Amino acid sequence: MLTGCQVAFIGGDARQIEVIKKCSELDATILLIGFNRLESQYPGATKVNPSPEIFEEVDALILPVVGTQDDGIVESIFSDQIIILKDEWLEALPDHCVIYTGMSTPYLEQLASKYNLKLVQLLERDDVAIYNSIPTVEGALMMAIQNTDITLHGSHCVVLGLGRVGMTLARTLHAIGAKVFVGARKKEHLARSYEMSLTPFHLQEIKQYVQHCDILFNTIPSKVVPAEVIVHLPSHALIIDLASNPGGVDFRFAEKRGIKALLAPGLPGIVAPKTAGRILANVVTQLLIEERQARGGK
């Protein structure tokens, strides 16, 4: 339980609502900043106007998945006002307060470092990334179906990267009957692809393996699909880039050549915000409980 734990939420989208609900169920005291348009009410949750004083007893500060912009603006779809994470707010936080965000920015990192506050990037955690790979892959399959005139069953699919998303994607494509070719650099990823009955290849061989590709899925956040690779793709091929922005594809050249290339980061929050929110809620509340236990339950 989180009885006696004071949690402040600043901004967010539908995913944040699931975290608020979970904290409420666990009896936390909740402060909501940037939620003036939120109609639902949750036990223990109070909408407040931000001031340094309200942060003095906060045990955890929870920001949206996207954190803040470089100028400190915090996204909030439930507010009709611009919210900027201010220096004096973090200065007022207790030393033990932990800041939770999906991803960080230099602005946020600088503030956390300035006041010696612990900053947890949830999307960097293996458990969150693996859970999120499920809605990410469902969204990728939806995009593939919507943007092709063939079935995925029997299609020639190339998956670049066998990390947390790539493995779930390759396994799912194989399960529905696609012919899956996995490009990777690490020997263990090539070995795992072989063990999964997929066709592995080293990324140095990519030009050879994309020549008959129907759909190319990239999960590697570096430029692994430049122009010299795209020229070897069939004209009907579809590229879906799941890597974080700006992706790993030369989109300008793909468009020039007439190949449809889609950048699709952040799919969990788009295709399944409730599920994505529950994933974050379960992880965040467990971390809050662990932090309280580490401080002797105070």
The CA angle 24-30-32, to the nearest 5 degrees, is: 120
Q: Please confirm whether the linkage preceding 50 is cis (ω < 30° from 0).
A: no
What's the pLDDT at 33?
Answer: 96
159-162 contacts, C-beta under 8 A, 24 or more apart: 159/183, 159/217, 159/219, 160/184, 160/203, 160/206, 160/216, 160/217, 160/218, 160/219, 160/220, 160/224, 160/225, 160/248, 161/189, 161/218, 161/219, 161/220, 161/243, 162/186, 162/189, 162/192, 162/193
Q: 3-state class of 160 per DSSP?
A: strand
Helix axes 126-146, 273-294, angle to 10 degrees: 180
Q: Compute how many other C-beta atoms are within 10 angstroms of the C-beta atom of residue 235.
A: 7
Question: Can you list the positions of beta strands (E) in 98-166?
Answer: 98-101, 118-121, 156-160
184, β-bridge pairs: 202
Instruction: Determine contact, residues 15/65, Cβ cutoff 8 Å.
Output: yes
Residue 298 is predicted with a pLDDT of 55
| Average pLDDT per block of 10 residues along the chain, 298 residues long | 95 94 96 93 93 96 93 92 94 96 93 96 94 96 97 98 97 98 97 98 97 97 96 97 91 96 92 95 96 78
Q: For residue 201, list its beta bridge partners.
A: 183
pLDDT score, position 49: 92
- Phi/psi at 9 (5° precision): -105, 130
Are 122 and 19 within 8 A, CB to CB? no
Question: What 3 state SS string does 7-62 have?
Answer: EEEECECHHHHHHHHHHHHCCCEEEEECCCCCCCCCCCEEECCCCHHHHCCCCEEE
pLDDT for position 168: 98
User: What residues form DSSP beta bridges with 263?
Assistant: 241
Question: Do 45 and 20 meet the contact criterion of CB atoms below 8 Å apart?
Answer: yes
Angle between helices 273-294 and 14-25 (to 10 degrees): 40
Residues in the chain: 298
Q: Which two tokens stand for residue 213?
A: 């590709």
